[in-house]
């Protein structure tokens, strides 16, 4: 009888864990999507509200290679000078660690049009490190690696 109770308790704990992780996965997907949507709408107040407030870092393969929060904010707000800018994600994968840390990876295509009408496009692999604070997922770190264009 004790063995049956123990098995039942373990089964219930596992079911609750799976349900909680599924809920976290949906919350993370929503956070990632909201971040990209805010960027595409140039709604930078919403965009920056989705980041932790304790010095997030942003890695990129351009110079400077490491942005602190202030440099990243200036860079993103500088996008207002473009006629249009957008980021489209595909193949988003989310891995959750310890229930309060997650890694979201995706392929991205950045498109921007300069005021003179020049259209630019760049593909990249992106990763976002998120942490759960006060029941909400926030971005701690972003990284973009350019995917070189194929010649030919």
Structural domains for the chain = 2-146 (3.10.450.50)
- Quick check: 110 and 121 in contact, CB under 8 A? yes
- Quick check: 139 and 51 in contact, CB under 8 A? yes
This prediction has a pTM of 0.70
**Other residues' Cβ atoms within 10 Å of the Cβ of residue 62:** 9
pLDDT digits (tens, 9 = 90+) for 78-113: 777 777 888 888 999 999 998 899 999 999 898 888
Q: Residue 48 contacts by C-beta under 8 Å, 6 or more apart in sequence?
A: 73, 76
Residue 28 is predicted with a pLDDT of 92
The backbone torsions φ and ψ at residue 100, rounded to the nearest 5 degrees and listed phi first, read -135, 5
User: Which run of H or E residues covers position 5?
Assistant: helix 2-40
Residue 96 is predicted with a pLDDT of 93
Identify the top-confidence range among 19-28, 31-40, 79-88, 139-148: 31-40
- Quick check: 32 and 47 in contact, CB under 8 A? no
Residue 60 is predicted with a pLDDT of 52
What rounded mean pLDDT belongs to the chain? 77
């Amino acid at each position: 009888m004790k063995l049956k109770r123990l098995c039942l308790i373990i089964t219930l704990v596992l079911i609750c864990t799976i349900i909680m992780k599924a809920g976290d996965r949906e919350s993370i997907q929503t956070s990632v999507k909201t971040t990209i949507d805010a960027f595409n709408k140039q709604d930078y107040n919403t965009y920056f509200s989705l980041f932790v407030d304790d010095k997030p870092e942003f890695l990129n393969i351009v110079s400077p290679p490491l942005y602190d929060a202030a440099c990243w904010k200036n860079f993103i707000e500088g996008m207002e000078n473009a006629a249009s800018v957008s980021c489209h994600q595909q193949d988003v994968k989310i891995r959750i660690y310890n229930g309060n840390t997650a890694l979201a990876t995706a392929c991205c295509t950045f498109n921007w049009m300069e005021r003179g009408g020049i259209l630019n496009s760049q593909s990249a692999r992106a990763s976002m490190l998120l942490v759960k604070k006060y029941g909400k997922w926030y971005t701690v770190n972003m990284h973009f690696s350019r995917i070189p264009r194929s010649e030919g």
